Amino acid sequence: MTFNHVVQFLQTLAPLANLSPAEVTLLETPNHVHKAELHLNGKKYPAFRIQFNNARGPYKGGIRFHPEVNEDEVKSLAFWMTLKTAVADIPFGGGKGGVTIDPKSLSGKELEELSRAYVRAFRPYLGSSIDIPAPDVYTTGQIMAWMLDEYEQQAGHHDPGMITGKPLELGGSLVRDIATALGGVFVLEEAVQKLKFKGKRIAIQGFGNAGMNAAKLFADRGFTIVAVSDSKGGIYAQQGLPVDEVVTIKEKTGSVQNYPPGQKISNEELLTLNCDILIPSALSGVITEKNAHQVKAKIILELANGPTTPEADKILHQNKTLVLPDILANAGGVTVSYFEWVQNQSGYYWKEEEVRARLREKMKAAFNQLWSTWAGKKYDFRTATYIHAIQKVLAAEKLRGRV
Ligand code: NAD
């Protein structure tokens, strides 16, 4: 999604949320756009840290290393982080970072040098009470460890809360690895209860961190996973797939399609399968005006960022399909990042059960708050979620006297 889309989106929302022109301007203006050129092996790579809004707390958002990273994209992602932390009701603002580089072309040593160079470039703007990065596309726990080390060497003191998604040995949190999927499970459980929804048949697009963990967690809770897919395609079994076996096949062969008893299907077919719940967990923009009419699921849990286009949203709303939007459905990841930061700030680390229980409480509360806000409204649940997030950011801005 380009930043133009963000601007259009705010203009569409303005009348529904009663936003003044000054409020719209504030919402579409990032606080700081930091740019640098990182030098590696005689070449220069553009790098960004965009701090969108910090009215509710320090900036928060991942760093991606990808050849297509650009300022416009980082700005859009930083905007969405501002809304996501508001929906999750955690005391952070929104930010995002990135480097325009193909990290797969780098050796381990080069990747370490790039990670350290990123921190050196943006160090004055980072810190546990300023701006707290995390992993994103092609950045890992190891990269967070190098970044922490560089920051602490430069600062001359420990500050583990300056970055999240760290390995456990350096102050990471238990449950962070499955947090996005587990948060989605808690949101869906609440929605199912509210709707008195009996359907148990789930189709999942994408079988990485979000999709695979969702498949395992839902199967453990008695749901039937009828289809899963990855970049090579999908598999379907009417009676349900044995998730553990599919995970083993994926790990051994690289694709879920190599699970022999599964009926092979395409990623497009998966989206319109006969199922009750659809969980897009891979790419953005996959549910469009072309296929939304054929979607049979009555609930869509958006673990991926931006999988549904605005045109498709309208069709799904008309067809009474409830879309649990990305900034709520996949907020489990940033919520456990917040827990990691809390543990770092206090120097006291929680047991796994405690992290899970707190995540459940947070996700349930976020869903229920939105559900009651939405009651009786003519617009869809996504719109209610966005309006709620924007109002929270604006309330903080007003109290600070900034608008
Ligand atoms: P991942 O890299 O671990 O997995 C991505 C999966 O998508 C892989 O199974 C891959 O094979 C599959 N895939 C790639 N191209 C595909 C295609 N054309 N069709 C179908 N499947 C395809 O990534 P992830 O961390 O699981 O992230 C998935 C989505 O969830 C992204 O949209 C991401 O932004 C979002 N998300 C993830 C997290 C998190 O904590 N991991 C948090 C918030 C949002």
CATH of the domain at 52: 3.40.50.10860
Half-sphere exposure of 317 (CA within 13 A, CB side): 16
As beta bridge partners, residue 97 has 49, 63
Is the distance from the beta carbon of residue 266 to the nearest atom of ligand 1 less than 6 Å? Answer: no
Q: Judge if 58 and 85 occupy the same domain.
A: yes
DSSP one-letter code for 196: T
Q: Does residue 171 come out as left (phi exceeding 0), alpha (psi in the -120 to 50 range) or beta?
A: left
Q: Judge if 21 and 165 occupy the same domain.
A: yes
In the set 60, 84, 96, 250, the catalytic residue is 96
Q: Quick one: pLDDT at residue 1?
A: 76
Q: What are phi and psi of 304, to 5 degrees?
A: -75, 160
Q: Judge if 287 and 304 occupy the same domain.
A: yes
Is the distance from the beta carbon of residue 330 to the nearest atom of ligand 1 less than 6 Å? Answer: yes
Active site residue 392: no
Q: Could you tell me which residues come within 8 angstroms of residue 44 by beta carbon, excluding any fewer than 6 positions away?
A: 37, 38
Q: Quick one: pLDDT at residue 163?
A: 98
355 within 8 A of 173, measured Cβ to Cβ: yes
Here the tokens at position 344 are: 């770092």
In a domain, 109, yes or no: yes
17, 21, 353, 386 from 13: Cα distances, Å: 6, 12, 39, 8
Per DSSP, helices labelled H in 157-280 are: 179-195, 209-220, 243-253, 267-271
Last residue of a domain, one of 110, 139, 174: 174
226 within 8 A of 201, measured Cβ to Cβ: yes
Q: Judge if 186 and 78 occupy the same domain.
A: no
Is the distance from the beta carbon of residue 305 to the nearest atom of ligand 1 less than 6 Å? Answer: yes
For ligand 1, atom 25, name the residue with the nearest CA: 209
Domain that holds residue 242: 178-324
Identify the H or E element spanning 326.
helix 326-329
Is the distance from the beta carbon of residue 333 to the nearest atom of ligand 1 less than 6 Å? Answer: yes
C-alpha–C-alpha distance, residues 166 and 146, integer Å: 10
C-alpha–C-alpha distance, residues 17 and 105, integer Å: 46
Q: Judge if 27 and 141 occupy the same domain.
A: yes
Q: Does residue 284 come out as left (phi exceeding 0), alpha (psi in the -120 to 50 range) or beta?
A: beta
For ligand 1, atom 13, name the residue with the nearest CA: 231
In a domain, 46, yes or no: yes
Q: Judge if 278 and 160 occupy the same domain.
A: no
pLDDT in tens, the chain (403 residues): 789 989 999 999 999 999 999 999 999 999 999 999 999 999 999 999 999 999 999 999 999 999 999 999 999 999 999 999 999 999 999 999 999 999 999 999 999 999 999 999 999 999 999 999 999 999 999 999 999 999 999 999 999 999 999 999 999 999 999 999 999 999 999 999 999 999 999 999 999 999 999 999 999 999 999 999 999 999 999 999 999 999 999 999 999 999 989 999 999 999 999 999 999 999 999 999 999 999 999 999 999 999 999 999 999 999 999 999 999 999 999 999 999 999 999 999 999 999 999 999 999 999 999 999 999 899 999 999 999 999 999 999 999 999 9
In a domain, 119, yes or no: yes
Which single residue is written with the structure tokens 């700081």? 32
Q: Could you tell me which residues come within 8 angstroms of residue 260 by beta carbon, excluding any fewer than 6 positions away?
A: none
Q: Judge if 136 and 185 occupy the same domain.
A: no
Ligand 1 center from residue 282 Cα (angstroms): 4
C-alpha–C-alpha distance, residues 184 and 331, integer Å: 8
Q: Judge if 296 and 253 occupy the same domain.
A: yes
Q: What are phi and psi of 308, to 5 degrees?
A: -115, 130
Ligand 1 center from residue 281 Cα (angstroms): 5
Ligand 1 center from residue 137 Cα (angstroms): 9
Ligand 1 pocket mutation, candidates 173, 205, 231, 268, criterion most atoms within 8 A of CB: 231
Last residue of a domain, one of 159, 174, 189: 174
Last residue of a domain, one of 124, 139, 174: 174
CATH of the domain at 268: 3.40.50.720
In a domain, 40, yes or no: yes
